[in-house]
Amino acid sequence: MSKRFGAVAACDAVDIEIHRGEIHGILGENGAGKSTLMKMLIGLVVPDSGSILVDGASVRITDPVAAASLGIGMVHQHFSLVEALTVWENVALGDTGRLSRSGVRDAVGDLSDRYGLRIDPDALVADLPVGLRQRVEILKCLRREPEILIFDEPTSVLTPEESDDLFRSLRGVVEQEGRSVALVSHKLTEMLDVTDRVTIMRNGSVVERFVTTEVDAGMLATAMVGRDVRLRSAQEMSQSDTRERVVADGGGSLPVLEFRNVEVRESGGSLELDDLTFSLGTGEILGMAGVEGNGQRVIADLLSGLRNRSGGEILVNGSVVDVSQPGSAMDAGIAVIPEDRHDSGIVLEMTVAENLMLSDPSGMSSHGVIDGLRREKMAADLIERFAIMCTGPDAPMWTLSGGNQQRVVLAREIAAEPTVLVAAQPTRGLDVGAIEYMTDQLRQAAGSGVGILLISSELDEILELADRILVIYRGQVTGEMTRSEATREKIGRLMGGDIL
């Protein structure tokens, strides 16, 4: 299968075979062509050349309806749900003929039971966290009983526990029901734990095919990136112990960010942040560990002006900042890389240059040619510095691969030269090469004096990067330690609510 977009060969004569009863991994860096290949299978992208055979017979797949009639279904990298509708309504969306509310609701219930994907069919999608929205997408796909299920990075929005649940049900789908799953991902551990075989793509071509039991993480990473990469392995962890960074001013100077007894209530009245107090120093990377849903997101939302406090104070460089006023957090020098970049980080309809300027309105106000040129130049610089794969500053955001859209957000927030950078799950959805790059960027920003609040559910990420670690549980800090005092076990216990 081949597909070009202008000068880019997204897929260049790609051969792939997916067998009955297997989970087939498709691994590759950001922009390797994985999503394009899958979209050709589902009829969303028209191939330039190539052929598709289902059960040995050549088929023409012109649109997702044709794909569905051949038993092929896909759960997309980015959601296509209608927020104003309920779960069952979304599942029914696209059905032809008369809608039977009870019929669809029953089907949702059956599928939930069968695959262990619990959900309330009457919940509004707008009220659901991302993990549950993912579940709706999956149920919607499963309801059409596809023989071939395509998952494009399904776990980039799931917690580790949710991912385990999903993979357990996929195992059942292939082993008990003899169906096939194509799983796109760039998480090496996922590939090793979940798949039967792996096809690896780089720059639009297949570079390797492996039987999963015959490879290890290092082999996969090398094949994927085309060079040896740093992996976050146990060995790597113990090395980073010895090269711990020395933080400038070690707490003697004024903190760049302070939370004093901050309280946030949800609409029902219960506390989401409960008397939360902590401070972040100049050039410090403060890791906030915790099981997702324990208030991390509320902190990021609060500092983005999306939520209101019901008590306490937030200080930047020693002055109280009322972050509930639009723009005041940004004016005070707080930059936020949001967790759900697709929802709150970018505008798909705008160009890469426009998205890069979103948090710098001065670059947007067009006072004639000079500003336009300045903007073009700044965008081109950022595209180069952050290795964003796109056709140029004028490329519409929707033409970028998922990982590259994410780099645009990172580039923009780091380029704003903030005092405080809140990075929520900053490496989620990035490939190993990009993770390596991202962690270097964060270290560099800290080195230049930016205080970094690293919110992450990946313990490895926290242990690798943070100078100091806070553990949050139910909106409260349950423990604090320096990097050298931290162990996985200790953090794990605190994450579960133990107080040391």
Ligand X SMILES: Nc1ncnc2c1ncn2[C@@H]1O[C@H](COP(=O)(O)OP(=O)(O)OP(=O)(O)O)[C@@H](O)[C@H]1O
Tell the smallest beta-carbon distance from residue 405 to ligand X (Å): 8
CA terminus-to-terminus distance, the chain: 57
* Stretch 153-192: interaction string toward ligand X, x if CB under 6 A: ---------------------------------x------
DSSP class of residue 398? G
Total count of residues recorded for the chain: 500
* 399 is a contact residue toward ligand X (CB under 6 A): yes
Q: Is 400 in the site for ligand X (CB under 6 A)?
A: yes
Contacts of 216 by beta carbon, 8 Å cutoff, 6+ apart: 192
Which of 1, 14, 25, 34 lies at the binding interface for ligand X (CB under 6 A)? Answer: 34
Q: Which does 475 bind (CB under 5 to 8 A by kind): Mg ion, ligand X, none?
A: none
Taking CB under 6 A as the criterion, which residues in 184-243 touch ligand X? 186
Q: How far is the CB of 29 from ligand X (least distance, A)?
A: 7
CA 290 vs CA 182, 209, 422, 477, 479: distances in Å: 31, 37, 16, 10, 11
- The Cα-based distances of 60 to 33, 35, 294, 312 in angstroms read 21, 19, 48, 61
Span interacting with ligand X, options 33-41, 129-137, 366-374, 438-446, rule CB under 6 A: 33-41
- Segment contacting ligand X (CB under 6 A): 59-67, 371-379, 400-408, 474-482? 400-408
Nearer to Mg ion, 166 or 455 (CB): 166
Of 180, 404, 427, 456, the one binding ligand X by CB under 6 A:
404
Two tokens at 262?
């901050």
- 294 and 309 in contact (C-beta within 8 Å)? no
Query: By C-beta, is 355 or 401 nearer to Mg ion?
Result: 401
Q: Is 35 in the site for Mg ion (CB under 5 A)?
A: yes
Say which amino acid occupies 185: S
- Nearest 5 degrees, angle CA 29-CA 30-CA 36? 100
Q: Which is nearer to ligand X, 36 or 425 (CB)?
A: 36
By the rule CB under 6 A, 403 interacts with ligand X: yes
Size of residue set near Mg ion by CB under 5 A: 3
For residue 396, the cross-strand partners are: 351
- Matching residue, tokens 């991202």: 438
Q: Which stretch binds ligand X (CB under 6 A): 2-10, 13-21, 293-301, 443-451?
A: 2-10
Maximum distance among all alpha carbons in the chain? 72
Please list the residues that pair with 451 across neighbouring strands.
Answer: 420
Query: What ranges in 248-392 are assigned the alpha helix state H?
Result: 296-303, 328-331, 341-344, 352-356, 361-364, 369-385
CA distance 191 to 199: 10
Judged by beta carbon, residue 304 or residue 406, the one nearer Mg ion is 406
Residue 404 binds which one of Mg ion, ligand X, none, with CB within 5 to 8 A depending on kind?
A: ligand X
* CA–CA dist 120, 117 (Å, integer): 10
Tell me, by CB under 6 A, how many residues bind ligand X.
21
385 to 404, contacts with Mg ion by CB under 5 A? 401-402
Alpha-carbon torsion 134, 209, 389, 350, what sign? negative
Binding residue for ligand X, selected from 23, 27, 32, 494, defined by CB under 6 A: 32
Q: Check binding of 405 to Mg ion (CB under 5 A).
A: no
* Cβ at position 150, least distance to ligand X in Å: 12
Residue 190: CB minimum distance to Mg ion, A? 15
- Residues near Mg ion (CB under 5 A) are 35, 401-402
Give residues in contact with ligand X (CB under 6 A): 5, 8, 10, 28, 30-36, 77, 186, 389-390, 399-404
